[in-house]
């Protein structure tokens, strides 16, 4: 394993500098063990070794978190604070995130396999931006006022609206971007005056535990923020069904999202769903091919393809089809793969064994259904010391001649597998792009600006990148169409998901 990390700011750390203590639950302002004392190791996907033990919350613990959050909302100061006061605390969280950037990045990398080059320069700054941005938004949650004269009397009235917090929000977050996808829910929920229970993915809890420490250090009152780690099915089910919770904010697979919607229906919870994707990325022959290939490469192999917006379906105009594939293959060959703690590495291990097995199965489907393997399609082992494979490493994989009916085209793989399909006309490209049940993201590459806008409008997806891919900013809304979910994260309109609108009428006659 890589023995030291040298960051761009001149700091250098070794794994010995960042020993990870066992993870506990954070409920009502206290760190505590699970009610029955159970723990489970979290595993480093690069070595398959245990990092530390993590408390496994029980149903009793989950109920205690709901009780604490409910009491803090109903009786505590947070929902009654001014937006300025809440904003100052959220800003302090942002400061603390940057202060502890190296540790957060290290935790993210050893827990999930994300290269340290990305966790330190992308994930940590974006999470800090989320708390800064919504810290600023906290004092700008506004209603509107109107003078009205309704029939039949037409007497003058003043009508105005208030934006009020929902209550208790359960944020259920996935394994692939543990920091960012926690911040996209926690920061706006707190800014609006809600209390929060965070249930991170069971396989990647380390950055969530550190974030809870920083939120507590920033001065969040007791019970306002709670963390429960452990089995997703059991604890998530408690949160989804509990009548004391007002809102579920979820990012994850479409199948799990559907189950959450069904299970939350009896208590009429507000829900937002950021679900799966099978995003199409179109390259026209008139594109800047160098730029388009770089974007396509980044679009699928960034974060090892474990990203819901992955451009996993590449549609290429036939006249440049082979050229694009050959260039992509060369980029794969040149990419440094291996230990994610090496700052030069850009491609690390998959997040866990189940991901490794899933990717292996889909590659087999690709072979069986007639796609042509151009590169990859197998495990690799940077840690081979003669004692067998260590780490969940899988080669970046490209299939060409992928057709509409193949599983690698229709189903979300959530890994580094690219399916490339040729097309002849703009209409054919659009039909292929829209030809799955998903609609999270899309891309189009062309020098023709009219064509770019025309195709972007035709894409049935929540995001379309033109001549780029996988760019995000905290101020720009994000979410899906169709089976990719509903509701939006990021930007100002996300506050609609974390507030009620109350109308107040005043008779002025």
Q: Which helix (H) or strand (E) holds 481?
A: strand 481-482
| Cβ atoms of 469 and 480 closer than 8 Å | no
Q: How far apart are CA 160 and CA 354, in angstroms?
A: 52
Q: What are phi and psi of 54, to 5 degrees?
A: -120, 130
User: In the chain, where are the structural domains located?
Assistant: 23-41+51-275+486-503, 280-473
Q: How far apart are CA 136 and CA 69, in angstroms?
A: 23
pLDDT of 232 reads 87
Residues 6+ apart with CB under 8 A from 119: 104, 105, 106, 108, 109, 179
Handedness of CA 322, 327, 328, 330 (dihedral sign): positive
- Which class for 415: exposed (0-12), middle (13-18), buried (19 or more C-beta within 10 A)? buried
The packing angle between helices 83-99 and 206-217, to 10°, is 130
The packing angle between helices 180-191 and 83-99, to 10°, is 160
Residues 6+ apart with CB under 8 A from 259: none
Handedness of CA 381, 384, 387, 391 (dihedral sign): negative
Q: How far apart are CA 376 and CA 137, in angstroms?
A: 46
Q: How far apart are CA 366 and CA 410, in angstroms?
A: 11
CATH of 280-473, one of 3.30.450.20, 2.60.40.10, 3.40.309.10, 3.30.70.260: 3.40.309.10
Q: Which helix (H) or strand (E) holds 107?
A: helix 101-112
Q: Is 274 a catalytic residue?
A: yes
What average pLDDT values come out for the chain (509 residues) when binned by 10 residues?
A: 56 67 97 98 96 98 98 95 97 98 96 97 98 97 93 94 97 97 98 98 98 98 98 93 98 96 96 97 98 98 97 98 98 96 96 97 98 97 68 97 97 98 98 98 98 98 98 97 96 95 95
Q: How far apart are CA 178 and CA 300, in angstroms?
A: 19
CATH of 23-41+51-275+486-503, one of 3.20.20.110, 2.40.50.140, 3.40.605.10, 3.40.50.920: 3.40.605.10
Strand partners of residue 325 = none
DSSP string of 218-256? TTPPTTTEEE--S-HHHHHHHHHH-TT--EEEEES-HHH
Q: How far apart are CA 358 and CA 353, in angstroms?
A: 9
Residue 49, CB half-sphere, CA atoms under 13 Å: how many? 7
| Cβ atoms of 393 and 349 closer than 8 Å | yes
Q: How far apart are CA 145 and CA 319, in angstroms?
A: 58
Q: How far apart are CA 282 and CA 443, in angstroms?
A: 6
Question: Tokens for 258?
Answer: 């559907």
In the block, residue with structure tokens 């009654």: 80
DSSP string of 122-134? IIHHHHHHHHHHH
Question: Tokens for 62?
Answer: 């989950």
pLDDT of 345 reads 96
Tally of CB atoms within 10 A around 398: 27
Q: Where are the beta strands (DSSP E) in 81-194?
A: 145-148, 157-165, 168-172
Q: Give the pairing type, strands 270-274 and 195-199.
A: unpaired
Query: For 371, which DSSP code?
Result: P
Q: Give the pairing type, strands 5-6 and 12-13.
A: antiparallel
The packing angle between helices 59-75 and 232-241, to 10°, is 40
Q: Is 391 left (phi over 0), alpha (psi -120 to 50) or beta?
A: left
pLDDT of 56 reads 98
The packing angle between helices 124-137 and 101-112, to 10°, is 120
Strand partners of residue 12 = 6
Q: How far apart are CA 138 and CA 428, in angstroms?
A: 46
Q: Which of 102, 108, 306, 308 is catalytic?
A: 308
Residues 6+ apart with CB under 8 A from 351: 45, 112, 113, 175, 176, 203, 204, 304, 306, 392
Tell how far CA 158 is from the center of its chain: 42
| Cβ atoms of 449 and 343 closer than 8 Å | no
- Which class for 434: exposed (0-12), middle (13-18), buried (19 or more C-beta within 10 A)? middle
Q: How far apart are CA 501 and CA 10, in angstroms?
A: 49
Q: Which of 274, 317, 426, 489 is catalytic?
A: 274
Q: Is 308 a catalytic residue?
A: yes
pLDDT of 395 reads 98
Q: Which helix (H) or strand (E) holds 421?
A: strand 417-423
């Amino acid at each position: 394993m890589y023995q030291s990390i040298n960051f761009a700011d001149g700091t250098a750390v070794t794994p010995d500098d960042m020993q990870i203590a066992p993870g506990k639950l954070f409920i009502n302002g206290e760190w505590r063990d699970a009610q029955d004392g159970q723990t489970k190791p979290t595993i480093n996907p690069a070595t398959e070794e245990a990092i530390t033990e993590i408390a496994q919350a029980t149903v009793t613990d989950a109920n205690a978190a709901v009780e604490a959050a409910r009491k803090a909302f109903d009786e505590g100061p947070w929902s009654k604070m001014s937006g300025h006061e809440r904003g100052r605390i959220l800003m302090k969280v942002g400061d603390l995130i940057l202060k502890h950037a190296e540790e957060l990045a290290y935790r993210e990398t050893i827990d999930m396999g994300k290269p340290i080059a990305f966790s330190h320069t992308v994930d940590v700054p974006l999470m800090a931006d989320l708390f800064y941005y919504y810290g600023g938004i906290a004092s700008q949650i506004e209603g509107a006022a109107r003078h009205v004269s309704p029939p039949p009397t037409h007497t003058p009235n003043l009508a105005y609206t208030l934006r009020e917090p929902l209550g208790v929000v359960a944020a259920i977050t996935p394994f692939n971007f543990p920091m960012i996808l926690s911040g996209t829910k926690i920061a706006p929920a707190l800014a609006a005056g809600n209390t929060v229970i965070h249930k991170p993915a069971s396989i990647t809890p380390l950055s969530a535990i550190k974030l809870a420490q920083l939120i507590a250090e920033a001065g969040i009152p007791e019970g306002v923020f709670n963390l429960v780690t452990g089995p997703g099915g059991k604890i998530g089910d408690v949160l989804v069904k509990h009548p004391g919770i007002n809102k579920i904010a979820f990012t994850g697979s479409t199948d799990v999202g559907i189950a959450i919607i069904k299970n939350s229906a009896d208590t009429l919870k507000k829900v937002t769903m950021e679900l799966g994707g099978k995003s199409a990325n179109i390259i026209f022959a008139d594109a800047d091919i160098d730029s388009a290939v770089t974007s396509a490469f980044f679009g699928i192999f960034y974060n090892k393809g474990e990203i819901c917006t992955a451009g996993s379906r590449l549609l290429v105009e036939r006249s440049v089809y082979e050229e694009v594939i050959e260039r992509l293959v060369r980029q794969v060959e040149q990419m440094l793969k291996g230990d994610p703690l090496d700052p030069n590495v850009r491609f690390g291990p998959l997040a866990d064994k189940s991901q490794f097995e899933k990717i292996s199965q889909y590659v087999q489907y690709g072979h069986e259904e007639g796609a042509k393997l151009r590169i990859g399609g197998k495990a690799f082992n940077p840690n081979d010391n003669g004692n067998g494979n260590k780490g969940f490493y899988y080669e970046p994989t490209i299939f060409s001649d992928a057709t509409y009916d193949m599983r690698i085209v229709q189903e979300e793989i959530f890994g580094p597998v690219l399916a490339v399909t040729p097309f002849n006309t703009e209409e054919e490209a659009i039909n292929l792009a829209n030809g799955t049940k998903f609609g999270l993201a899309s891309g189009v590459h062309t020098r023709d600006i009219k064509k770019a806008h025309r195709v972007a409008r035709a894409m049935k997806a929540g995001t379309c990148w033109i001549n780029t891919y996988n760019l995000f900013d905290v101020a720009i809304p994000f979410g899906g169409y169709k089976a990719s979910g509903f509701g939006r994260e990021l930007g100002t309109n996300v506050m609609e998901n974390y507030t009620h609108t109350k109308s107040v009428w005043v008779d002025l006659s």
